[in-house]
Structure 1
Amino acid sequence: MPRRDHADRPPKKPRTRPLKGEEAEVSHIVETHDVSPNQARELVRRHGNDWRKIDEAAKSYKDEK
């Protein structure tokens, strides 16, 4: 079977809609870290499901207030 080269794929566009389950994560971050929903969505976009990084970044948001 020939090997597919990923160079022939178009570049991925940034997501505009949340992934399945992402809104639940956003709600959890908003409740536990007292950040805005937009800030929480940005954290999920940047860090995915790396909760350690999300916690650290959310604390820095709170420090900026």
Structure 2
Amino acid sequence: MPERDEKEPGADRPKKPRSCPLKGEEAEVNHIVETQNISPAQARELVRRYGNDWRKIEEAAKIYKEDS
């Protein structure tokens, strides 16, 4: 039986940016700040208000940006 290559699946593929961060409020806040260009305080408020409903968070972030 031939030896198998012990690489992890997908290890040779380039990593794409994630559309959603990993679990954890601070990671979510950082992701929102980077992608939506709003303040960390505003991003925390959106995470508290909408949880992980990214569609609602993006809509609310657009409103924040329009008000600025």
The two structures have a TM-score, normalised by structure 2, of: 0.66
Which has the greater radius of gyration?
2
Identity, in percent, stands at 76
* Stretches (4+) displaced over 4 A: none
CA distance in 1, matches of 2:47, 2:31: 11
Provide the C-alpha distance between the structure 1 equivalents of 2:61 and 2:52, rounded to a whole number of angstroms: 14
Aligned match of 2:27 = 24
The structure, 1 or 2, with the larger RCO (C-alpha pairs under 8 Å, 6+ apart) is 1
> Which of 32, 45, 56 is equivalent to 1:53?
56
**Matched residue count:** 46
Aligned residues: CA RMSD: 1.0
Q: Which amino acid aligns with 1:40?
A: A
Residues 1:62 and 2:68 aligned together: no
